[in-house]
Each structure stands twice: as C-alpha cells, then as structure tokens.
C-alpha cells in the first residue's frame, strides 16, 4: 500500500466517525462500559494483592532461641537473615527483657503478677521475621530450624496458607475476568460496528469492483475502531480515576497510609489503568471493526 493510499485510509477513518455519529456514540458507550468494568476489576485486584502483600509482610514468623543460646549463635541467625534478602524483607531481635516488657504490657492491669519474674531464666531471645512473600514461609522456616541455637520457629500456618491461596485466587480471578470481559467486549463491539459497516456495504462492494484490496478497505474501519477505542479508554480512565480518588479520600480519611490494610494511592494505579484501558480499548475497537468488515469484502 502506498503512503498516499495509507493517508487516505486514515482520513477515511476519521470521516467515518463523523459520518455515523449515533453508531459512534453507541460504540464508544459500549467499549466505555466494558473498560469501566475492567478498570474496576483492576482496581479491586490491585488493592487485594497490595493488602495481602502487606499482611504477608507482617511478622508472621517468630524464632525462639534456646535459653542457653550463645551470642555467636544469635549472630549466626542475624547473619543468615541479613544475607537472605531474596526471602526476608525485615527482621528484628528482641532480648528477654524486651519480651518481658511486651508480655507485661499485654497483660495490662494484671501485669503486677510478673513483677518478681526472673525473665532471664525463662524467656529466650526471639527474632521477628517479615517475609517478602508469605509463599516463602515453609522454605525460610526449614532453614531457620536447622540453625544452631534455635529452639523453635513459630509461624501462623493457617494465616500464611490463606494469604498464599488468596493471592493465587485473586490473580487467577483477575486474569479470567480480564479474558472474559475482553471477549464479551469484542463480541459486542463487532456487532455494533457491523451496523456501521452494513450501512456502507454498497460502498465496500464498489471499492472491491474498482480493485481495492481487502487491507485498503479494512484499514479505514480499523482506524475508526481504534479511535473509538482510544476515546472510550480515555473516558474510562478519567471516570475510574475520579471515582477511585473520591473513594480513597473517603475510606482513607482516618487510616494511616502506612498501615497494612491501607489502599493503594491513586498515583500508583492511574498509569496502569490508563495503559490497560488504552491497550484494550484500541485492540477491541480495531479488531472488532476489522472482523465486521470481513463479511462484506468477499466480493
């Protein structure tokens, strides 16, 4: 195809949008609704993953040293945790004294019963470990248990399992919803565009008779579909950002953004949503239009 033929197709694509304003509006609305649904899913799944990641990084693993554990053994555990940056996000050592104070604090008004408690004899040194991903828990626990001076390693197994499973299901759910929504959008938009193409069936037939290639005929429709998809994507992105911004302000008004159940800020989501909406919108519009023309170019 020559450059001139290509620029003609682009021009025709733009003209097509203006030629059938009602069909264009209907197409934009259809894609927009689909992209909004997709965006809601992206927002939900991103937040679900974010919260789970944060929850998983809370200290779910606690390492108890033997009471007679030496300073070298403690140093050995610290060195191991410091070196394992792949799995370990953060760790903290608590001395018997610190554990005693925390224990007393937890007891509240009844703490006086521990006033004469010899913590050095009964409370060990402990390590609180935060993991990068709760899925690494089993592996890290196995290594820690094998280290000298370690008495036992506690982990909230059920919580960890729930977090790992939930993250997996959210990911699978997001991917499935994405594919299903994408296919539904494609189906709807190809039917919408078919109306527009049908009204130009004669034009397409004439073009075929004068020697236009299939790609020459298809290109204006594909460009038209892509433009419709792009406009829908920008609208969907704008609406999603506006709605999420308000929701975030409402829900996070009294919540510390650093807490593990805080939502993702809009700035972390908006680029991703824009990318996904633009990609899907253009693809749905262009592909849906291209498929619709196929029936009429078999002359």
Partner 1 sequence: MIRFDNVYKTYKTGTDALKGVSFKIEDGEFVFIIGQSGSGKSTIIKLMTREERPTEGKVYIDNYAISSMSRTLVPVLRRHVGMIFQDFRLIESKNIFENIAFAGEIVGMSRKKLIQTVDIVLSVVGLRNKASAFPKELSGGEQQRVAIARAMVNDPRLILADEPTGNLDPTTSEAIMALLEEINRNGTTVVICTHDSNLVDRMKKRVIEIAGGEIVRDARDSGYTCANNIPQEQCEEL
Work out whether 249 is an interface residue with partner 1 (CB under 8 A): no
Our CA dihedral for 74, 89, 141, 136, rounded to 10 degrees, sits at: -160
**Are the C-beta atoms of 255 and 179 separated by less than 8 Å?**
no
Residue span binding partner 1 (CB under 8 A) among the ranges 37-45, 107-115, 156-164, 197-205: 197-205
Residues 6+ apart with CB under 8 A from 256: 262
Work out whether 113 is an interface residue with partner 1 (CB under 8 A): no
Work out whether 268 is an interface residue with partner 1 (CB under 8 A): no
**Are the C-beta atoms of 214 and 10 separated by less than 8 Å?**
no
CB of 4 to partner 1, least distance (A): 6
Among 82, 205, 249, 259, binds partner 1 (CB under 8 A): 205
Q: Which helix (H) or strand (E) holds 170?
A: helix 157-198
Among left, alpha and beta (phi > 0; psi -120 to 50; other), residue 149 is left
Residue span binding partner 1 (CB under 8 A) among the ranges 1-9, 161-169, 223-231, 248-256: 1-9
**Are the C-beta atoms of 280 and 38 separated by less than 8 Å?**
yes
Site string for partner 1, 6-35 (x = CB under 8 A): --x----------x----------------
Among 98, 135, 208, 272, binds partner 1 (CB under 8 A): 208
Q: Identify which of 30, 26, 12 has the alpha carbon closest to the alpha carbon of residue 196.
A: 26
Residue span binding partner 1 (CB under 8 A) among the ranges 31-39, 98-106, 135-143, 203-211: 203-211
Nearest residue (CB) to partner 1, 5 versus 67: 5
Binding stretches for partner 1 (CB under 8 A): 1-2, 4-5, 8, 19, 202-203, 205-213, 216, 299
């Amino acid at each position: 195809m020559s450059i001139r033929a290509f620029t003609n197709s682009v021009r025709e694509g733009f003209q097509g949008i203006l030629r059938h304003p009602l069909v264009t509006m209907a197409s934009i609305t259809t894609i927009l609704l689909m992209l909004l649904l997709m965006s809601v899913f992206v927002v939900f799944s991103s937040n679900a993953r974010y919260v789970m990641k944060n929850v998983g990084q809370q200290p779910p693993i606690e390492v108890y040293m033997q009471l007679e554990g030496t300073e070298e053994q403690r140093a050995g555990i610290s060195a191991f945790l410091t070196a394992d940056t792949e799995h370990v996000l953060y760790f903290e050592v608590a001395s018997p004294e610190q554990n005693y104070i925390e224990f007393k604090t937890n007891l509240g008004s009844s703490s006086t019963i521990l006033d004469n408690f010899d913590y050095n004899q009964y409370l060990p040194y402990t390590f609180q470990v935060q993991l990068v991903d709760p899925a690494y828990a089993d592996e890290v626990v196995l290594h820690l248990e094998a280290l000298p001076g370690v008495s036992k390693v506690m982990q909230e197994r059920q919580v960890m399992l729930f977090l790992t499973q939930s993250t997996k299901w959210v990911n699978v759910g997001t991917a499935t919803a994405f594919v299903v929504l994408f296919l539904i959008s494609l189906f709807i938009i190809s039917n919408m565009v078919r109306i527009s193409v049908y009204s130009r069936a004669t034009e397409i037939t004439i073009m075929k008779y004068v020697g236009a290639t299939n790609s020459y005929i298809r290109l204006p429709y594909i460009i038209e579909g892509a433009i419709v998809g792009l406009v829908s994507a920008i609208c969907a992105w704008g609406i999603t950002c506006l709605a999420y911004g308000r929701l975030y302000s409402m829900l996070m008004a009294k919540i510390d953004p650093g807490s593990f159940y805080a939502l993702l800020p809009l700035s972390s989501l908006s680029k991703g949503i824009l990318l996904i909406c633009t990609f899907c919108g253009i693809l749905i519009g262009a592909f849906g239009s291209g498929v619709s023309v196929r029936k009429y170019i078999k002359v």
